[in-house]
Amino acid sequence: MSAATGTAPRTGYRALLAVAGPLAGVQLAQVALTTTDLVMLGSLDVTAVAAGGLAILLHNQVRTMCVGVVTPLGNQVAAAAGRHSSGGPGEAEAPGEELSGEVRGLLRSGLAVGTVVGIVSALVLIALGALLPLFGQAAPVVAVALPTMAALAPGLIPMLWLNVLRQFAVGLHRAGSLLGVTIASIAVNVVLDGGFLHGWLGMPVLGAPGVGVATSAVQVVNVAAYYAILRRDPHLAPALSLQAWRADRAQARELVRLGAPVALTYGSEAGITSVATLIMGAFGPIALAAHNVVNQIAYVVYQATIGLSQGSSILVSRATAQEGPDAHDEARHVAKRAFVLSGALQVVLAVVYVVAPQAVLSLFLDPADAAAAGLATTLLLLAIAQQITKGAQNIAVGLMRGLKDTKSGFRASLIGYWGIGVPAMLVLGLLLHLDGPGVWIGLSCGFGATAVLLLTKFVRAVR
C-alpha cells in the first residue's frame, strides 16, 4: 500500500482496515485536541476540570451531530465509484473523467452543506452554554464553561471542512495520511494551551477559555494541511474542488436527506450522554469531574469504533452499488470483520482498565484527589460495558447506512436511548440511589438495546 495515497486492498480485513484506519485517524485527531485540553485543565483545579470538561463534552456532542450530516458523502462517493468500477468492492481504481465530474459535484455539495451546518452548530453550542443555569449547573461551573464553549464554537466550521474532504477521499479509497499532521497539531495545541493557561512564551493568560481558542486555531491548520496532502494525489486532484458556491442544489438536498437522520441519530446519542452529564452535575463537582474524565477516555476509544463503522459502511455501499449476486454476502462478511476487530480492541482495553486503572486516570486526575479518583476508578470499570454496547450500536448504524437506510438508526435510538436508557439512568441513579455508577449502568442499557434492534434489522436486510 502506498503511504502517500492510501490505496485500499481488494478484500478481507486489510480492506476494512485500509478504509477504517484513516477515518479513525481523523476522528482521533479531533478528539486528541480536546483530550489534551482536558489534560491541561487538570493543571488548574477540580472546578476547571468540571467546567472545562462539561464545555468539551457538549462541544464533542455538537461536533459529532453535525459531522453526521456530511457522513453519507463518503457513501455517495463510494457508490459512484462502485457504479463506474469493474473491480471488487474493495478495489481502488484511477477515476475517469465521468467519475471525476460526478465526485467533484458531490464534494462541492458537501462543502456547501458543511459550511452552513458549521455556522448553525457554532451558534447552537454558544446557546447551550447560555442555558446551563437552567439545568442546575452551579454558578462557578457556568462562569467557566460558557466562555470556553464560545471559544470552541468557531472551530466547528474548519472541522466540518476536514471531514468533508476525508469522506471524499475515503470514498475513492485514497485517504492519505494525517499522522504527521496530527502529531504536529497536538504539539501545537499543548503549547497554545500552556500559553493561554499559564502564560508560556509570553502569551496572554485567558484561563480555561484559552483551551477553546487553541483548539479552534489548530482546526484551521489541520484542514489546510490535509487539503495540501490531497492536492498532491494525482488521482484525486482532478475531482478536488473547493467551489462550494457552485454546488448543485439537488445533490446538496440529497446529502441533507441522507445526513439528517444520521445527525439525528448522533444527536439522540449526544442527548442521552448529555442527560447523563447533567445528572452527574447534580451530584456535585467531584462526581462531574470523575464523569468527565472517564467519559473522555471512553470517547477517545469510541473514535476507533466510529472508524470501523464508517469504513464498513463505505465497503457495503460500494459492494451493493455493483448489484452483483454476492453483494449481500459481502455485506455480511464486512459486518463480521468489523465486529471481530472491535471486539479484539475492547478485550485489550478491558484488561488495561482492570489491571492498571490508576495509570489511565492519572493523566487527568491528581491521585491526591481521593474522592474524584475513587469514583473515576469505579466508572472506568463500568466503561468496559459502555464501550462495548456503544461501539456495537455505532457499527450497526454504519452498516444500515451502507444499505442506504439512514432512518432505522434514529428510530432505534428513540426506543433504546429514550425508552430504555434514560429511564434506567433515572431509576438506578436517583430512585435507587446508586448515583454515578447507576447512571453509567443506565447508559449501557440504552446503548445495548439500540444495538440489538439495529443488528436484528441488518441481519434481516441481508438475509
Q: Report the alpha-carbon distance of residue 50 to residue 98 in Å, rounded.
A: 53
Distance CA 296, CA 38 (A): 9
Domain count across the chain: 1
| C-alpha cell recorded at residue 154 | 468557531
Q: Is residue 323 part of a domain?
A: yes
Give the SS3 label for residue 359: helix
For 450, phi then psi, to 5°, come to -65, -40
Is residue 1 a part of any domain in this protein?
no
Q: How far is 329 from 337, CA to CA, in rounded Å?
A: 13
User: What Cα–Cα distance (Å) separates residue 81 from each residue in 86, 128, 171, 257, 258?
Assistant: 10, 40, 8, 21, 18
Measure the N-to-C terminal CA separation of the chain; round to a whole number of Å: 33
Tell whether 6 is covered by a domain. no
Specify if 170 maps to a domain.
yes
The answer to whether residue 2 is domain-embedded is: no
The pTM score is: 0.74
The pLDDT value recorded for residue 236 is 86
Residue 25's pLDDT is 73
Domain annotation covers residue 85 = yes
Q: Domain range holding 144?
A: 12-462
Task: Flag whether 309 is in a domain.
Answer: yes
**92: Cβ–Cβ under 8 A, 6 or more apart, which residues?**
7, 8, 172, 173, 174
Tell me if 329 is assigned to some domain. Answer: yes
Question: What is the predicted pLDDT for the residue at 30?
Answer: 67
One pLDDT digit (tens) per residue for the chain, 463 residues: 333 334 444 457 877 887 777 777 767 776 777 778 878 887 777 778 788 878 888 888 888 888 889 988 988 888 887 776 655 444 445 556 777 788 889 999 999 999 999 999 999 999 998 888 887 777 888 888 899 999 999 999 999 999 899 889 888 877 666 666 777 888 888 899 888 888 888 888 888 888 889 989 999 988 998 899 888 888 888 888 898 988 889 999 999 998 898 888 888 887 888 889 888 888 888 888 889 889 888 888 888 888 888 888 888 887 777 666 666 778 888 888 999 999 999 999 999 999 988 888 887 777 767 788 889 899 999 999 999 999 999 899 889 988 888 888 888 989 999 999 999 999 999 899 888 899 999 999 999 999 999 999 988 887 7
Tell me what pLDDT residue 239 has: 86
For residue 136, give the 3-state DSSP assignment.
Answer: coil
